[in-house]
Structure 1
Amino acid sequence: MIQHLPKLIERARNSPRWLLVLNLLLSRVIPFNRPHGFRIVAITEEMVRSAATYRQINRNHVRGIHACAIATVAEMSAGFLLLSRLDPQLYRLIMGRLEVDYHYQAKEGIVSESFLPNQRLENEIIGPLREQDAVTICMKSLVTDQSGNRIAEGRTTWQIKRWDRVRTKL
């Protein structure tokens, strides 16, 4: 499956049908996300947008979207962006830290956007990995609701390592 991911992502960038296929596959390989309805809604070369709907399973005791659902959507956009920019057969990603600043209560569907410009990819990941075994990168995700309110800002710190440098086995 992992060897087909780059091609599937490329197709999903340009086709709503292939984006649906990608989301169906993600719901199978990440079973935690399935009941929550977390999904990728847009992919470009430098951006990934993920979303969660306002549904009962995602709500907290005050009928807003739960903080953990907001954090997961932020983590999903950042992690999937890295996965889409790096060959998963060459690099292993591990999230080491997740921080979220909450600004506003979400009472409708939410969207998270993460960006990784080409220059940052080269300067902070690809270049350093030519000389180091592993690098860490902090990715920011902006979470907004359907009305455009700024709900939260997530920061995920990822360790990226070449698979041939990994000492533990799958």
Structure 2
Amino acid sequence: MPPRRSRCYYKGFQSEAGGHKEGPAPRVTLKDPKSARQLQIALDSSSVTTSERNNTINLLPSSRREAVLEQQLLQQWELLGAQAAEVMKCLKKVRRQRDTYAEQLKTERAQWQQKMLQMAGEIEEILKMEKKQDAIKIEELKRSPAHLQNHLAEPLAGKAGTSTQGH
């Protein structure tokens, strides 16, 4: 609740602000229909133009004028309070959504890291196995020329013997 102000304060406030715009109050749109309706009713009820309001207020006795101005100030203060509460409510909701999204990202990141480590381990095992197989093939190939030479020498010896026998 705002502090009580003197009449001089209200006059100074009015002259500094230059008065309000003429015309109806602006339309209010809020997510909560109940709050929006309450705010719109309050704004519509105050949709009297500034000059009409000032003329009416100026006709009142000074003590009554001060009370009316104070009441108007209180109404505006309440409207601002309701709007601030709605903004804070939206801010909390957005923060919760942000925190939820951040937590999801952390979880997904951890899952991907785990998957990458698993794949790296599998690749390492495959490479080790292929290396062993390659080493075995190399050893077989090293032994293979001697074996091939022996194999090749036998048929050549047999062919040489048959060809000399046929002549």
TM tier, shorter chain? under 0.3
* Higher fraction of helix: 2
Task: Report which of the two structures shows the higher radius of gyration computed on alpha carbons.
Answer: 2
* Higher fraction of strand: 1
